[in-house]
Structures are given as C-alpha cells and as structure tokens.
C-alpha cells in the first residue's frame, strides 16, 4: 500500500496541474497530530474547484489515483455535507487506499471552518489565508443540561419495554432493532459518553459510535458493556437486555448524582418490573408446552 508521503505527493502534483482545482484541504485524523493513524485510515480531502459541473459529469478524474474497487455514493451527488453546494466521492481503490473527497465551487472559507485540524495541501487563490489555528475541541464531550439528561433517561425506559414485548412474541428482528440500535445508539452510547466526560473533567472525546470507549472505560466497565451484546438466541437476548438496563441505570444514576439531576427511580422500577413479568409469562408458557 502507498505511504502517506507518496499519496499526498502524488495528489499535490496532480492538483497543481489541474486548473479546475483551486484549493485542497486535508482534514480529520490525518490532519490531527494527536490522532492514531494506521494503514486503514482514510484521507479526507476537501476540494474547492472552479467548475463543479465537471465533477458531476463523471468519475474519470479519479482514475488518476488508481483502479477503483468501490465508491459511494454510486453517482456524484450532494450528501448534505456542510452547508452549501458540495458533492461527495468516497473512494476505495484496489490497493486499499481510501480517499474521501468532498467537492465544492465555493470560493470562501470561514475562519473557524477547520477547528478540528487541517492541512492545506494546495491553495492557488489564497482563500485559506487567515484560517484560525485548530483547537481540536469540536468533538469534546459536553456536559448535558439538566433537561437534556432527564429527557434521555426517561425516554430510555419508554423504548426499553419494546424489547421484552417482541422477545416474548418471538419476533427477533424487531427486538434486535430496539436492543441493538435504538437503546444502544440513541441512549446507552450517550450515557457512556457523559460518564466518560464526567470522569475526565469534560476534556476528552470518544470518537464516532464510541470507537474509543475501550480507552476510557475500566476493565470491569468494558466487560460489563460487552455483556450487553447477544447473537440470535432469544434467551441470550433476554440476558443482554437486562444487562443493558443494569448498565444504563448504574452509569445514569452516577451522572445524575454528580450533576444533581433527577434520575427517574420510580419509572425505572415500574418498567423493569413489567419487563420481568413479560419474561415470566414466556417462561410459564414454555413450561406448559413441555408438560403437554
């Protein structure tokens, strides 16, 4: 696989010769001196071009960087990146090199556009002059406001009861969606983030989808978190569900105690009691079938 020096040297040489390319900025992990980079780390490059229509027509320009294995989206289009007129080309080449291009015909860059790190690769028109020095604070975990915390912990218990409901019905797809998507990513991950932020004076970040959780959780907490996962077995999912609710409760109560926010003790108690009753009814039904 090509080295970073080779990739960026090749890119700059191409960009200098291409009149359509006016400015190029490297962002994300490869522009952050504190980030860990490995052979799978992609190159995030924002291109400021003079004519965006040329990049909408075809992907022939990407041939300059190698043979494409796969890219996203299928055709050049806007994917809602930032505000303004941008198109996205995320490209994985056959040798494993990945470059994520975001392309625009904007001619101005706000002073604080790259607060989380950047490296100007080329700037033919001086539009990056005056960019502020990055503080690398964009993704630092922020302490929740009381209403934000109390809303999340209450709504967790509303959605929690869906898991027992669909496990009891033996409707695994719905139960897994609620357990492994809704509860995990809408609620538990946020609570873990806040817990880590609390334990580290609100000065750290955990990366997208909790990819740095293992760095900040104790061995015990990490192992407890692992137990919130299960495969396709119904009984295993019951166990994972109760492990998840226990884990959520433990961290959420600690956050609430430290910040003097209200944890919904009564809601928690009543919902989990109902969830256990649902499971018991399932167990009773199984026992009856076995006797028959």
Q: Does 77 lie in the same domain as 35?
A: yes
- The answer to the question of residue 128 being in a domain is no
Domain residues for the domain of 211 are 146-291
pLDDT given for residue 284 in this prediction = 52
Q: Does 254 lie in the same domain as 181?
A: yes
- Length of the chain equals 292
Burial class (CB in 10 A: 0-12, 13-18, 19+), 40: exposed
Number of compact structural domains in the chain? 2
Over 90: is that where the pLDDT of 83 sits?
no
- The answer to the question of residue 249 being in a domain is yes
For the domain that residue 222 is a member of, what is the CATH number?
A: 1.20.120.330
- The answer to the question of residue 47 being in a domain is yes
Q: Does 64 lie in the same domain as 18?
A: yes
Q: Can you tell me the distance from the alpha carbon of 124 to that of 75, in angstroms, rounded to the nearest whole number? A: 28
Q: Does 179 lie in the same domain as 274?
A: yes
For 122-179, the pLDDT digits (tens) are: 999 999 999 999 888 888 999 999 999 999 999 999 999 999 999 999 999 999 999 9
Burial 115-130 (b: 16+ CB within 10 A, else e): bbbbeebbbeeebbee
- The answer to the question of residue 203 being in a domain is yes
For 89-122, the pLDDT digits (tens) are: 999 999 999 999 999 999 889 999 999 899 999 9
Q: Does 277 lie in the same domain as 155?
A: yes
Q: Does 189 lie in the same domain as 86?
A: no
Q: Does 205 lie in the same domain as 77?
A: no
Q: Does 192 lie in the same domain as 65?
A: no
Instruction: Put residue 150 in one of left, alpha, beta given phi > 0 → left and psi -120 to 50 → alpha.
Output: alpha
- Of 79, 108, 123, the position where a domain reaches its end is 123
- The answer to the question of residue 140 being in a domain is no
- Of 123, 157, 187, the position where a domain reaches its end is 123
For the domain that residue 14 is a member of, what is the CATH number?
A: 3.30.460.10
Over 90: is that where the pLDDT of 7 sits?
yes
For 129-143, the pLDDT digits (tens) are: 999 998 888 889 999
What number of other Cβ atoms are within 10 A of residue 243's Cβ?
Answer: 17
For 249-286, the pLDDT digits (tens) are: 999 999 999 999 999 999 999 999 999 999 998 655 44
User: Which residue reads 């001196």 in tokens?
Assistant: 33
Residue 210 has phi, psi (to 5 degrees) of 70, 25
Nearest to 160 by CA among 267, 30, 13, 26: 267
């Amino acid at each position: 696989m090509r080295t970073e020096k080779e990739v960026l040297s090749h890119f700059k040489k191409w960009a200098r010769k291409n009149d359509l390319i006016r400015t190029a900025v490297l962002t994300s992990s490869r522009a952050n001196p504190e980030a860990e980079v490995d052979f799978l780390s992609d190159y995030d490059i924002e291109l400021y071009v003079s004519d965006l229509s040329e990049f909408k027509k075809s992907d022939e320009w990407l041939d300059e960087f190698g043979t494409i294995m796969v890219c996203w989206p299928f055709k050049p289009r806007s994917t809602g990146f930032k505000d303004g007129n941008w198109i996205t080309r995320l490209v994985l080449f056959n040798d494993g090199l990945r470059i994520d291009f975001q392309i625009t015909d904007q001619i101005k860059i706000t002073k604080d556009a790259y607060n989380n790190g950047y490296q100007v690769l080329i700037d033919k028109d001086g539009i990056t002059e005056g960019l502020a020095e990055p503080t690398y604070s964009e993704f630092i975990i922020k302490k929740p406001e009381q209403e934000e915390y109390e809303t999340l912990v209450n709504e967790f218990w509303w959605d929690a009861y869906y898991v027992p409901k669909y496990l009891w019905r033996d409707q695994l797809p719905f139960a897994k969606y609620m357990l492994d998507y809704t509860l995990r990513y809408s609620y538990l991950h946020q609570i873990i983030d806040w817990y880590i932020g609390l334990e580290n004076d609100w000065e750290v970040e955990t990366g997208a989808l909790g990819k740095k959780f293992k760095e900040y959780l104790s061995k015990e907490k990490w192992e407890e978190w692992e137990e919130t996962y299960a495969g396709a077995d119904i009984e295993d999912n019951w166990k994972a569900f109760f492990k998840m609710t226990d884990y959520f409760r433990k961290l959420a109560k600690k956050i609430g105690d430290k910040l003097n926010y209200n944890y919904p003790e009564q809601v928690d108690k009543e919902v989990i009691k109902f969830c256990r009753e649902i499971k018991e009814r399932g167990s009773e039904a199984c026992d009856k079938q076995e006797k028959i």
